[in-house]
A = this chain, B = another copy of it.
Amino acid sequence: MSPLRVPISISARHIHLTPEHVEALFGPGHELTPLQELSQPGQFACKERVTLVGPRGSIEGVRVLGPTRPETQVEISRTDELRLGIDAPIRASGALEDSIGLQLVGPSGRVALERGVIQAKRHIHMSPEDAERFGVQDKDWVMVRVGGERGIIFDDVQVRVSPMYVLDMHIDTDEANAADLKPGDTGLLIKGPATVQAEPDD
């Protein structure tokens, strides 16, 4: 892999739950069952799945990711939103102010979520060593070029640096499908927005 390339993970719709919501959906005393480790250390896909119910439609079998979090967060694509009949904001993980709600249904109960539904803003996880190699810093904005026949340059990709992180760009299924990306594909990191001809915002 070229030293400027970043591995890409395609995030399907998923949900992070509080311990209270795990019990409400799966029964008293229930704990999440890890199924598979994810690219970031300590994160895992669980056996548990929930149904999302919106005003227009519902989506079954949405994967729960662990470990539990202090606030429940649902990450869906624009395609999912159109199916559910909702319009969630584009947000970084954890930035849930003024996000919207949804009904969650599990095998043992329901949760009327008041907020926590977002479209995840694309981002790159990297270690301080990777950041130095790329010449970028935590919270920098970069561009990433991906794809073959349907090449796309993602124009607002935020870098997140932590000693806990493994190099990985996260995009959602709409972003992957638009560029015809497959699991295992990589992107080329391009610094700045300055390399592309810009026009003042209008």
Name A residues whose Cβ lies closer than 8 Å to a Cβ of B: 2, 4, 77-79, 82, 90, 119, 121-122, 143, 145, 147, 149-156, 173-175, 177-180, 188, 190, 195-197, 199, 202
The residues of B that contact A196 with a CB separation of less than 8 Å are 143, 145, 153, 190, 195-196
The 9 closest A-B pairs by CB, nearest first: A178-B178, A151-B155, A78-B177, A153-B153, A174-B177, A175-B178, A174-B178, A90-B149, A151-B156
Q: How many copies does the complex hold?
A: 2
Measured CB to CB, the closest approach of chain B to A78, in angstroms, equals 4
Q: What is the interface of chain A mostly: helix, strand, loop, or mixed?
A: mixed
- A152 in contact with B155 (CB, 8 Å): yes
Do A149 and B178 touch across chains, with their CB atoms under 8 A apart? no
Known: A2-B202, A151-B156, A154-B152. A177 touches B180 (CB 8 A): no
